[in-house]
Structure 1
Amino acid sequence: MEQLKNKREIIDRRSIGADLRRLAETHDGDSLRQAVFERLRDALAEGRQKIEQRFLEGEPGDVAARAMSYLVDQIITMLYDHAVEDVFAAANPTDGEQLSVVAVGGYGRGQMAPFSDVDLLFLMPYKQTAWSESVIEYMLYMLWDLKLKVGHASRTVDDCIRMAKQDTTIRTALLEARYVYGNQPLYAELKRRFQKDVVAGSGIDYVELKLAERDERHQRFGDSRYVNEPNLKEGKGGMRDLHTLFWVAKYLYQVDRVSELVEKGVISQGEYRKFVKAERFLWTVRFHLHLLANRPEERLTFDVQTNLAKRLGYTDHAGAQAIERFMKHYLLTARDVGDLTRVICTAIEQENQRKPLLRLPRLGLRTREIDGFVAEGGRLDVTDKEQFAEKPADMVRIFRVAQHEDLDIHPNALRLMRRHRKKITRPVRQDPVANRAFMDILTGEKEPEIHLRRMNEAGVLGQFITDFGRVVAQTQHDMYHHYTVDEHTIRAVGLLWQIEQGKLKQDHPLSAEIIHKVLSREVLYVAVFLHDIAKGRGGDHSVLGERVAKKLCPRLGMSAAETETVAWLVRWHLLMSATAFKRDLADPKTIADFVGAVQSPERLRLLLVLTVADIRAVGPGVWNGWKGQLLRDLYYRAEDAMSGDMIGRASRERIKQARQNLAERLKDWPTRQLDAHLERFYDGYWLGLDIETQAWHAEIMRRADEQKKHIEIEARSDKFKAMTEIVIYATDHPGLFARIAGAMAVAGVNIVDARIFTTHDGMAVDSFIVQDAEEGPLTDPERLEKMKNAIRKTLSGEMRPTRVIADRKPNYAQRTQIFTVEPVVFIDNNASNTWTVIEVNGRDRLGFVHDVAWALFDLSLNLGRARIATYGERAVDVFYVRDMFGLKVEDRAKQERIRRRLTEAIQPPTPARGGGSKAA
């Protein structure tokens, strides 16, 4: 452990102590207190400045953390001396006028980040006296005035022992207790009693409690170390896990330093070096994080990752940004922490002959041989320590056997894999037995996700499938994806298995049904495993992934036809979501183009299930019922088209049938009123909506007309689809959609879909699919009424959304500002036979849709359909438009004007302009 150098450069206790004595001679009362405060304040500030300077000049984070603790130690020591010698001096102190100042918790370890808490125990020999109460109060108020965040307790030794027996948190705090100043024999008595009365005989129970506490903490923070914004302190593989290892070792083996575990044979010298390396890296990152945030921040959010990478010296390399390289280093360090946890827990199990400590199945201690491995206590191990060195393919086979037998992998085997995984070279990768074993794991009927994750944690998966190794711990630097590429992929495979097993039937009824109709399970599982395999290579990952699939699938034992299908699925794995979420599914051209690309019912089935698994694996809250409905609509329309229905035919029969269906539904209407209603709409209305929606619209329009209302607004919610449909029936006029979009932005509503219909008699029926900020339906009556009022005020001219939006502060968090989303406008005349399709990409903000819609109005374009989507910080909105003559926009000059105007409209807001999101 590196020692602190030039301690007096941080703080000169002798010099400052002399200053405090002189102040005591020349001041008294409040004057003395103020003078002492100012001297200690300056000393603390100068010490912090020196520590920060050393750190920024290259001193490691763990050394800086010890320096920070040393600085606080000296402040407390001098303050204690001043309090007991100058302020509350006792000529002949009694036994009750004794105190020991003890550091506990993180401060007790002797390591502090710039904004860490200072946890103090004021240890008293008996109950508190007037003298001890005065000293403690004086010290605490001074420390608080110095802006130190102090947690404290005043207890006797008996108090400490009694409470430690009752509370694991207090027991852990006392485990790390460190003498700072005062009565040393009193502290020694606490340590002796703690060891004798609390620790003795309770080691394994304490370990199990701490590991259970750790598991619960992991659940709170996502139960994965492979997240894009990890919590450095509390997350899986973070500093708290290292602390837990230290607590366990200290409690069981009575060690004060991790290095002593090597002498006791608990860990190897190499594993000790791994511990030190991980601790140093995490402390360095944490120290920088506190300094950057200027507060006790522990989460590596996107807005600080770029600055951290720069501070830590990471640079851009070919195919990898500096931030991605930094985060990969962090996540691999988190994996090392997990390895160390397994190693130490295994040593504890073996030494104490207790049940597994890592939430593993217990099948009894009977040893049995299974397919070249040894099973004991619910875990699979090697027969001897040279097995993997001599037969490296067994590093793949062991996972297949474990999966088949419902066993975990013994940490001893995992340790040997770490040592020998580099022996998985080309001959092993080409070994048919090893490849068959991998395919059995991937497509196995027993939850492949668990075993793929264990392979990945052991470093075997990336070594065996080298293309997968390139995406291990690779972050996706955006606010849409929650996990690293490898974790996302493994979760997608797990979700695919759950769909197949019927575990997600309620969420995905269609996928759960058709997955059993696919002709090749292996094709589907391999495609899901490979769909993001080429991310981070500097090109289109779908195109590059297709090449990887063509190379890898034959090695995995797949036929030429299977390889072709997998490669196609990887190449087009985004096609279905892009079509469903961006295009008008009522437009025959949309379906024709999609069917032309997919071509076969088998590919359609495979693509749907892959798409569902992919979206669900992005992260919590990304999937919702509305997306599911859009995908189902596309699937059914494409299936009908493949069977020869609709595509290429005239639409007259469909329009006629739709009108007849509505007439039957509204048969209680007066004949003249019904006939008039059926004649009000243009053909697009009958082709684009289902009978339930048309009947709902009819009742709204009838009621409004009878009551002579100029504006009628109705809403209905669907919890399964996670959406609310809003219908506005009003007199048609230019800019109507833009005004409604602005009103919805003001009301804090996300528009995800919009259809604009006009009648022959000058009315408009605008249908909006909306969601709240959490992508759920609007179920709060007050929220719905607020939105309706905003729309009414806007359409009546009482409210100007543009002004309201401009006056509001941007609603997006500052952390999103670090993302660069270049404004892009695409104009496509091939996506529809009758509409020009405009796709707008930009950074999401308050009023984004309103600004674009207003620009379209300025350009004299008539809007027929809008698809609104947000992917993290990126807005991707699609509009179906025609010019003022009802024609597609074919003129190149007009197209260029549209691009310029829309690009201007979606520019990020400036302080003078204000600006916006689909949500307020």
Structure 2
Amino acid sequence: MATVKENQLKTMAGHAADNVALAIAPAAADYRPCLDIIEKVVDFESLNKQIINNAAEFPSELVNPALIKLLKDAVSTIDEGLKNIYQNGCDVNTIVYGRSSLIDQLIDAIYSHLFKDINQEIALVAVGGYGRGELHPKSDIDLMILLKEAENQKTKDLLEKFLMLLWDIHLEIGHSVRTIEECIDESSKDITVATNIMEARLLAGSEPLFASMKEKTSVDKLWDSKSFFKAKLDEQIQRNGKFNDTAYNLEPNLKESRGGLRDIQMIGWVAKRHFNANSLHDLVKEGFLLEDELNILLAGQHLLWRIRCSLHYLARRREDRLLFDYQRDLADEFGFKDKEENSRNEAIEQFMQQYYRTVIELERLNEMLLQHFREAIIYADVDKEAELINDSFQVRNGYIETTKESIFKDNPCAILELFIMLQNYPEIQGVRAATIRQIRQYKYLIDDKVRQSPRAQHLFMQIMSSTRGITHELKRMNRYGILAAYIPAFDSIVGRMQYDLFHAYTVDQHTLFVIRNMRRLSITEYCHEFPLASGVFQHLPNPGLLYLSGLFHDIAKGRHGDHSKLGAVDAKAFCDLHGLPAKDGKLVSWLVRSHLIMSMTAQRKDISDPDVISIFADRVKTLERLDYLYLLTISDIRATNPKQWNDWKDKLLGELYNKTASFLNKDPGLKNLDQQSDKENYISEIQTASLRRLEQQGIDSHQANELWKTFNTEYFQSHTYGQITWHTALIIDARQHAAKQGQTLDSPLIQTRVHESSNSIQLLIYMKDRDGVFHDVVTALSKCEVDIINAQVLNTTDGYALQTFRLAPVNINNSVMSVIAEQIIERLQESLNKSTDATPTPLSGSIKHKYFTSPTIVSFKNINDNNATQIKIETTDRTGVLANIAKTFIDNKIRLMSARIATAGEKAIDYFVVSTMQDTALSAEQQKNLEQEFKKLL
């Protein structure tokens, strides 16, 4: 047992020495005393004596309650002891290696107690991270039980007792039981198993058995270098795909996300297999890694280990995801504070930016080193002559490189030229490792002098105006740090997150996604996705200006002030510096300043109101601006959060674009005169289109027109002809069915329509109007685990309520959309066929919502010649919000005339048009009382 302890402490001391020498961890004086502290956490000499005494006391019962308590107390002592040491400032390396050492000794003691009679038949082996001697506070302890031959009954019984004992004392064990033959078979088929066994370490048992297994499963024998490298590379590619090919998700996985611990381990695995390197330090000796690059790798690992260790203690379980739940506590633990009283999230965003910048560096090094390995392993025997592109660049084995090492040093503008070469020669697979290193080495030379040089400006604008490869090369430029070098303002948004549920990516990643979406609109093979937007794009006079607006639209995020206005200043300065015509610079600047107005108008205003269109058109002023703004808006929303885009928003933006374009096309003197006729023409056109489709379904136009006479004009402005056709056909069919039985339509008509493409459900409710219908509907829906994306409420002139909703299931992973739709109908039928339940609906949200709260803001505006009042309510989006708002209307005897519902991340932004029971607008006193009630309620 002493040998296990001594070996582990030697390993720890070796890691400590490496870190101290490289100034990555605390100085030796701060670190080494912790090694002594680890030895004092548990007195294993005393523990072993107690195990021996227990065996003497219970000679016929190897595992007994007294032994379980003794060992459970030892585990608790280890956990609490290490936690106290860490919280008192001890370095994380000591905790990670120290826990492994202590668990080694504990398992060795248990093994010696249980397996002393069959020691030569079994080897107990540590694998995975535990095999490397690394155990975070709540990490699984991965064991392989190696058998000399297939287990007999005695061995099987002992193994069951051993594993059960480990679980009983609260050790989280991952285990496998294999013979040597099984190890050979599994390792030859599965690269993950081969990697685990490559890092295997003997804990206890038969040394000859373990040595034989290591010799026979050596990756040298089962996996040649090329196969091993390709398999591990495929594994990383699959892992990246699983995590959306980005390190910038707002709840990243410390191990599995890009730039995470797996990327560091990947370098170690390949180095161990190909170069027989036992540590990353050996790669410096091999010439594959520079000293400063090693420092970055070790510093990155050290930070990720600190975060992971703290995260395990906070979560009290194995948790490798940086969940919103823990980000505030972690930010505080790492010393980040909100600088201003009204800035509750600044500390979190700074902490997360430190994390993102770290993994970005690790991702860059991972890419460079894997390219190095690719050249050394895959192309080791390929002596292909370089193909010259120009004086600065050539292609070797499909990868671009500089013609000499000093190219970037002598001419920093050549760094930008590299990306143009990659755009112009799409057959090039990537950049050679030495050239990536040269970029890292000389990017600091891109200074103000270079930025102001006509050559650099010409090259950058050439990248932005290319017909291909813009997205790909901007991503590469960001990955290599060149975007931030060339546009210093961009540096502040690299790795910058926004602590809310609306923005799913860091600002720099979102920006690149915006440009990706713009580029997709330009490609004709994708025009079916967004026909209107794709058509608009084809007529842009200069797409490069659109890309520039995308690049700058959020560049001022995180600065104090209006990021749209600040970014507009940056964009104008950039355009002026790069010699763009004044009108182009003004357009880009205006787009950045105004990039939010179209989405806000479409989602928060009543775009069926001609006044809304007039005000919006007055801000846009020209068709050219409208075209660019429309494309920027679509691209921006779709890049913000995959869950935020749906065909409803597509329809709203398209409708706003068409109405504004029509308004701007008119003679200025006729615009006000024509608004009413425009409205009438639009309604006439949509009714004609709907009638045409209804006639194809065998429905008489007279019946449809008679029904439509009971609808108001807003209905036709708020629905597509497809929706109008669907509603009309269902209502006429239901009325005819009731008429055949000599009745009117008294039972609620409830129907759904599933849209798989947008993961949404359309809901129609048509029933006799009564007080509380809307309340009953939204109360029922609040129990169906669906989000209400949009709602339209109409009271017909013949006494019916027509309500339409667009719903998004909260979780569709385990449910079929059609099943959810059926459940919604059942719940609504049950609710609407009985009287209104006035019981308040409790407000509840997802676990995440408790970390994201928005103040409740209520505003009022009298409309329709003071016959109605529009109420705008902004509050935290939770289940039950709408039900409680509707109940408040009932309690205050307020008639709901229409509703528009919208959500933006954690925020609900809802509009209601209401009146008194006497069909008048709300008085000032009623408005004041309502505001107080809503704020108290929500």
- Provide TM-score, normalisation by structure 1: 0.89
From 757, 760, 765, the equivalent of 2:794 is 757
Equivalence for 2:612: 590
2:828 is the counterpart of 1:787 = no
Q: Which moved more, 1:857-866 or 1:631-640?
A: 857-866
Does the residue aligned with 1:865 lie in a helix, a strand or coil?
strand
The 3 A distance-change label for structure 1 pair 25 and 626 is: same
Shift of 1:453: 1.0
Q: Which residue of 2 aligns with 1:915?
A: none
State how far apart, in whole Å, the 2-side matches of 1:684 and 1:444 are.
45
Check conservation: 1:626, 1:722, Cα contact below 8 A: no
* Partner residue in 2 for 1:852: 885
- Choose which of 106, 113, 116 in structure 1 pairs with 2:136: 113
Distance 1:885 1:635, change over 3 A: farther
Q: Please say if residues 147 and 179 of structure 2, whose CA atoms lie closer than 8 Å, have aligned partners that are also in contact.
A: yes
The residue type paired with residue 332 of structure 1 is R
Contact 2:243–2:257 (CA under 8 A) maintained in structure 1: yes
1:42 matched residue in structure 2:
73
Give the percent of matched residue pairs that are identical in Structure 1 and Structure 2.
Answer: 28
Aligned equivalent of 2:930: 898
CA distance in 1, matches of 2:220, 2:104: 29
| Pairing 1:864–2:923 present | no
Q: Secondary structure at the match of 1:30?
A: coil
- Paired residue type of 1:49: E
1:745 aligns with 2:745: no
**2: CA distance between counterparts of 1:686 and 1:138?**
73
Whether contact under 8 Å (2:336, 2:348) holds in the other structure is yes
Query: How far is 1:175 from its partner?
Result: 0.4
Deviation at 1:425, TM superposition (A): 1.4
Cα gap change, 1:648 to 1:854, in 2 (>3 Å): farther
Q: How does 1:409-428 map to 2 (within 5 A)?
A: 409-428=431-450
8 Å contact kept, 1:621–1:774: no
Question: SS at 2:61's partner residue?
Answer: helix
How far 1:750 moved relative to its partner?
Answer: 3.5
1:325 correspondence with 2:345: no
Q: 2:876 matched to 1:843?
A: yes
> Relative to structure 1, is the Cα distance of residues 795 and 824 closer, same or farther in structure 2, using a 3 angstrom cutoff?
same
Match of residue 57 from structure 1: 88
Q: How does 1:445-456 map to 2 (within 5 A)?
A: 445-456=467-478
| Aligned residue number for residue 910 of structure 1 | none
Q: Distance in 2 between matches of 1:498 and 1:831?
A: 43
Give, in whole Å, the separation in 2 of the partners of 1:418 and 1:772. 46
Measure the CA separation in 2 of the matches of 1:903 and 1:884.
23
Which residue in the other structure is 1:911 paired with?
none
Aligned partner letter, 1:160: C
- Which of 121, 130, 136 does residue 159 from structure 2 map onto? 136
Mapped contact 1:233–1:240 kept (Cα < 8 A): yes
Distance apart, 1:811 and its partner CA:
5.5
Contact 2:392 2:404 (8 Å CA) reproduced: no
Following superposition, the deviation at residue 473 of structure 1 comes to 0.4
C-alpha distance in structure 1 between counterparts of 2:271 and 2:684, whole Å: 77
Q: Tell me whether 1:28 sits opposite 2:59 in the alignment.
A: yes
Alignment of 1:259-408 (within 5 A): 259-317=281-339, 321-352=346-377, 354=379, 366-370=386-390, 372-406=392-426, 407=428, 408=430
Task: Measure how far apart 1:799 and its partner are.
Answer: 5.8
In the other structure, the counterpart of 2:106 is 75
Q: Identify the residue that residue 280 of structure 2 maps to in structure 1.
A: 258
Q: How does 1:584-623 map to 2 (within 5 A)?
A: 584-623=606-645
Secondary structure of 1:29 counterpart: coil
Q: TM-score, normalised by structure 2?
A: 0.87
Deviates more, 1:751-760 or 1:415-424: 751-760
Look up the match of 1:573.
595
Decide whether the 8 Å contact of 1:624 with 1:721 is kept in 2: yes
Q: CA offsets per residue over residues 778-799 of structure 1, 9 Å max, x none?
A: 9955544543444444444346
Q: Residue type of the partner of 1:440?
A: Q
In the aligned structure 1, how far is the partner of 2:383 from the partner of 2:855?
57
Query: Does 2:733 align with 1:710?
Result: no
Asked if 1:153 is matched to 2:176, the reply is yes
Q: Which amino acid aligns with 2:125?
A: V
Which one of 178, 181, 184 corresponds to residue 207 of structure 2?
184
**2:146/2:180 contact within 8 Å kept:** yes
Q: Please say if residues 658 and 691 of structure 1, whose CA atoms lie closer than 8 Å, have aligned partners that are also in contact.
A: no
C-alpha distance in 2 between matches for 1:110 and 1:252: 21
Give the secondary-structure state (helix, strand or coil) at the position aligned to 1:591. helix
1:524 aligns with 2:546: yes
Quick one: structure 1 residues 151 and 708, their matched pair in 2 at CA, closer, same or farther if it must change by over 3 Å? same
Q: Which residue identity does 1:276 align to in structure 2?
A: L
Equivalent residue in structure 2 for 1:876, among 909, 919, 923: 909
CA contact (8 A) 1:752 1:868 kept: yes
Which of 232, 237, 258 pairs up with 1:215? Answer: 237
- The separation in 2 between residues aligned to 1:229 and 1:204, in whole angstroms, is 35
Deviation, structure 1 residue 744: 2.6
**Aligned partner of residue 82 in structure 2, secondary structure:** helix
Q: Secondary structure at the match of 2:640?
A: coil
How many angstroms apart in 2 are the aligned matches of 1:783 and 1:697?
20
**Matches of 2:148 and 2:818 in 1, distance apart?**
63
Distance (whole Å) between structure 2 residues aligned to residue 258 and residue 754 of structure 1:
58
Aligned position for 2:37? 6
In structure 2, do the counterparts of structure 1 residues 266 and 727 end up closer, same or farther at CA, with 3 Å as the change threshold? Answer: closer
CA distance in 2, matches of 1:157, 1:693: 66
Change (3 A) 1:250 1:811: farther
Q: Does 1:822 align with 2:855?
A: yes
Q: Tell me how far apart the structure 1 counterparts of residues 818 and 220 of structure 2 sit (CA, whole Å).
A: 60
Query: Could you tell me which amino acid in structure 2 is paired with residue 476 of structure 1?
Result: Q
Distance 2:238 2:703 in 1: 64
SS at match of 1:370: coil
Partner in structure 1 of residue 845 of structure 2: 812
Alpha carbons 1:518, 1:605 under 8 Å: kept: yes
Name the counterpart of 1:728.
Answer: 765
Partner Cα distance (1:98, 1:140) in 2: 17
Distance 1:543 1:278, change over 3 A: same
Note if contact 1:403-1:446 (Cα within 8 Å) is conserved in structure 2. yes
The amino acid across from 1:736 in the alignment is V
Q: Decide whether the 8 Å contact of 1:290 with 1:296 is kept in 2.
A: yes
- Post-superposition offset of 1:831: 11
Higher relative contact order at CA 8 Å, sep ≥6: structure 1 or structure 2? Answer: 1
Per-residue Cα deviation, 1:157-206 (whole angstroms, up to 9, x for no partner): 4443343223322211110011222333433333334448626x712211
Task: Work out whether residues 740 and 791 of structure 1, in 8 Å CA contact, stay in contact via their aligned partners in 2.
Answer: yes
Label 1:192 to 1:523 Cα distance change in 2 as closer, same or farther (>3 A): same
> Where does the alignment leave 5 or more consecutive residues of structure 1 unmatched?
91-95, 357-361, 908-920
AA at the equivalent of 1:238? G
Name the residue aligned to 1:487: 509
Distance 1:673 1:187 in 2: 85
Mapping 1:617-696, distance limit 5 Å: 617-644=639-666, 647-649=672-674, 651=676, 655=680, 680-682=710-712, 684=714
Given that 1:102 and 1:177 are in contact with CA atoms closer than 8 Å, whether structure 2 keeps it comes out as yes
Q: In 2 relative to 1, CA 699–460 (structure 1 residues): closer, same or farther, beyond 3 Å?
A: closer
* Number of equivalences: 886
Q: 1:150 to 1:641 in 2, by over 3 A?
A: same
Deviating more after overlay: 853-862 vs 830-839:
830-839
- Whether 2:809 is the aligned partner of 1:772: answer yes
- Contact 2:125/2:144 (<8 A) preserved: yes
Deviations 1:818-839 (CA, angstroms, capped at 9, x unpaired) = 1121112233458999864332
Report the Cα offset of residue 605 of structure 1: 0.9
Tell me if the contact between 1:729 and 1:763 (Cα under 8 Å) persists in the aligned partners: yes
